[in-house]
Amino acid sequence: MRAARDTLGMSDATAAVLLFDGFEELDAIGPYDVLRTASDAGAPLDSVTQVTAEPVERVTASKGTLVTPHGRLDTADPPDYLVVPGGGWVERADTGAWAAAERGVVQEAIADCHAAGTTVASVCTGAMLLARAGLLDGRPAVTHGSATADLEATDARVVDARVVDDGDVLTAGGVTAGIDLALWLVEREWGEAVADAVEQTLEYERSPDVYSA
């Protein structure tokens, strides 16, 4: 596990949100907004980007939002923090987390980043991609309620909480829980004052329902 950072005497960190066709919009944009706002509030985040596992010009989210990613995830020089959204898992859709898991490219990139030292966080059914990548074996975790049975069928230990923190791997429940996950990560890494500033800017009251292993 990486040591927690503070705003004094530490080099700037990098964070990325991993996109793929069919991702759930708020799963990704919520944490992205929190992390970008945290950077403005004093967190030493050198960059917060939206990336893909493969080189593509544009990504289409589950509800049709079109996103132009900043670039491709560099697993050779991975970010300090990686957020993985969900979407389309329960429906077994031809795009989204299920389709990404079946192809294998996304979870391979996730596993490579984690092996290189990246703290990986998932939102909603993004947890299933972490499970496929082997990151949740024996660990406490949570996902969207509709996919709980699927997560229970893996080697993860399902926990009833909005956010689950197991050090270098974090998971969150459905959709809006990604905002709480990102705010918790900000508080954990850069302090309550920064998290409070982000919360006030976004006019969002974060949930205290965090399970910390």
Query: Directed axis angle between helix 25-40 and helix 177-190, to 10°?
Result: 30
Please report which residue ranges of the chain form alpha helices under DSSP H.
25-40, 97-103, 105-115, 126-132, 148-152, 177-190, 192-202
2: left (phi over 0), alpha (psi -120 to 50) or beta: beta
Across-strand partners of 163?
172, 210
Q: Report how far residue 95's alpha carbon sits from residue 97's, in angstroms, rounded to the nearest whole number.
A: 7
| DSSP 3-state of 49 | strand
Selected catalytic residue, list 26, 73, 121, 124: 124
Catalytic status, residue 113: no
Tokens 């409070």 -> residue: 196
The residues pairing with 140 across neighbouring beta strands, listed in sequence order, are 157
How is residue 27 written in tokens?
């799963």
Query: CB-based burial of residue 16 (10 Å sphere; 0-12 exposed, 13-18 middle, 19+ buried)?
Result: buried
Active site residues: 124
